[in-house]
Amino acid sequence: MKIINVVGARPNFMKIAPLMEAYNKNGQIEPLLVHTGQHYDEKMSDLFFRQLGIPEPDMNLGIGSASHAVQTAEIMKAFEPVCLEHKPDVVLVVGDVNSTIACGLVAVKLGIKLIHVEAGLRSGDRSMPEEINRILTDSISDLLFCTEQSGVDNLLAEGVEDDRIHMVGHVMIDTLLKNLEKAQKSNMLADLESRFGVNGDGYAVLTMHRPSNVDDPVVFSRILDALEVIQKDLPIIFPMHPRTRNNIAGTELGSRIEDMTNLHLLEPVGYLDFLKLTSSAKIVLTDSGGIQEETTVLQIPCITLRENTERPITAEIGSNQIVGTSTESILQAYSVVKSGQFRKPQVPPLWDGKAAERIVKALVKKI
Ligand code: UD1
Ligand code: UDP
């Protein structure tokens, strides 16, 4: 069975790595790997291939950045000839980025079976570009692999037949569990000490890249109001996403960030360094999807700077609090964590490092 696997953006790499390994072990699948090139900076792409041992992509479509319509269309135009040439039995897409829906659409229009890994997640917020990508990708997929029960429930409620849905756990957590020990060897904490004088025992980690936060100066500014207060209490380490970096360059928001003496900016960091950073943090503040889940497994309190989440299990039983973006609610959540009234999180069912194995087993049986 020939499977074309698609990656494009940073969070896709952690999801595809264990699948490539599981195909290899199984031996019945001929995998090809296509990188759309949606992310292309060394620190947003190649670094992850090296650190996670992902094979070199068989093809890089080199699409790069553009508006949603142009990026999606260019990926489709470049991916169609790849499918025509290689005639895969299956196209497998992960997550919810533009590369996911673009390649999914090409596959089904050519009559190729489509598999979606991380299916069924819903934030209920259609202003979020990823929500549209999720709904559309799920609606055209033949087999849907879910990370949490809410995904299964959402798909059933949308009329997807039960036998096309598989609850398998989370491939991104396969990667986390596999690399946790290795990550402890990272020099990240020594670097923090030498560069910023930050003690490895006490800091917060911040990531922000959602357009609803970083493309809107009003929202960004009220988040900064909260960060200004927090950094006086606890140093904040902020590996900055390129979208965010580009947005603040030369703006007042940029100057405010520079003026915060205890908020320390980094370039995006590689997976192992980031895992070391988050696993040793006192608290994580984020608007990322994946980081809400990783902090739950790491049992690190997570304050999510969003009004909603498509990953509700992390807030129901994990370490996540969805606090929105008002200055007061962020500070309130911070003080709750600081006072130690933070519940002991549980790890969601099947987040055990074996999701990729389950997916490959189901693929071999069903396709
Ligand atoms: C994309 C995904 C988002 C995901 C995020 C992960 C979509 C719609 N969005 O958002 O779901 O959470 O990736 O990080 O697919 N840029 C660079 N270098 C790069 C990549 C991007 O400088 O290697 C800059 C460019 O200015 C670009 C901007 O970042 O315009 C946004 O990149 P894009 O891939 O369009 O969206 P993300 O915000 O990265
Ligand atoms: N990550 C990383 N370095 C960073 C920030 C994030 O390796 O500087 C990892 C993080 O551990 C997780 C993934 O990137 O595995 C999350 O990607 P991102 O937040 O870009 O996207 P989202 O999950 O929001 O789609």
DSSP 224-241: HHHHHHHHHHS-EEEEPP
pLDDT of amino acid 343: 82
Output the six-digit token pair for 202: 């006490």
pLDDT in tens, 265-297: 999 999 999 999 999 999 999 999 999 999 999
pLDDT of amino acid 272: 98
Counting atoms of ligand 2 from 1, which one is nearest the CA of 95? 25
314 shares a domain with 204 = yes
285 domain residue, yes or no: yes
Q: Measured between alpha carbons, how far is residue 287 from residues 138, 145, 278 in Å?
A: 23, 24, 14
229 domain residue, yes or no: yes
201 shares a domain with 126 = no
pLDDT of amino acid 342: 79
233 shares a domain with 138 = no
245 shares a domain with 220 = yes
Catalytic residues: 209
Pair 84, 61: CB distance under 8 Å = no
**Mutation to probe ligand 1, out of 97, 128, 216, 288 (largest number of atoms < 8 A from CB):** 97
Pair 138, 97: CB distance under 8 Å = no
6 domain residue, yes or no: yes
114 shares a domain with 233 = no
Radius of gyration of the chain (CA): 20
**Mutation to probe ligand 2, out of 44, 47, 177, 207 (largest number of atoms < 8 A from CB):** 207
Whole-angstrom distance, CA of residue 147 vs CA of residue 77? 30
126 shares a domain with 26 = yes
Q: Give distance in angstroms: CA of 154 to centre of ligand 2.
A: 25
Protein residues whose CB sits closer than 6 Å to any atom of ligand 2 = 10-11, 14, 172, 207, 239, 268-269, 271, 274, 288-291, 294
Identify the domain containing residue 265 by its residue range. 187-338
Q: What is the CATH number of the domain that holds 143?
A: 3.40.50.2000
Nearest alpha carbon to residue 100 among 127, 56, 68: 68
76 domain residue, yes or no: yes
Pair 176, 208: CB distance under 8 Å = no
Nearest alpha carbon to residue 107 among 78, 79, 130, 86: 79
How many folded domains does the chain comprise?
2
217 class by beta-carbon count within 10 Å (0-12 exposed, 13-18 middle, 19+ buried) = middle
Counting atoms of ligand 1 from 1, which one is nearest the CA of 11? 6
359 shares a domain with 331 = no
> Which of 218-240 are b and which e, b meaning 16 or more Cβ less than 10 Å from the residue's Cβ?
ebbebbbebbbebbeebbbbbbb
Task: Kindly state if the Cβ of 123 falls inside 6 Å of ligand 1.
Answer: no
279 shares a domain with 219 = yes
Q: Give distance in angstroms: CA of 1 to centre of ligand 2.
A: 31
Residue nearest to atom 30 of ligand 1 (CA): 65
Pair 208, 214: CB distance under 8 Å = yes
Which ranges of the chain have pLDDT less than 50? none
- Which ligand places an atom closest to the C-alpha of 71? 1
Counting atoms of ligand 2 from 1, which one is nearest the CA of 9? 20
317 shares a domain with 246 = yes
Q: Give distance in angstroms: CA of 8 to centre of ligand 1.
A: 10
Q: Whole-model pTM?
A: 0.98
Task: Kindly state if the Cβ of 247 falls inside 6 Å of ligand 1.
Answer: no
Output the six-digit token pair for 79: 């991916």
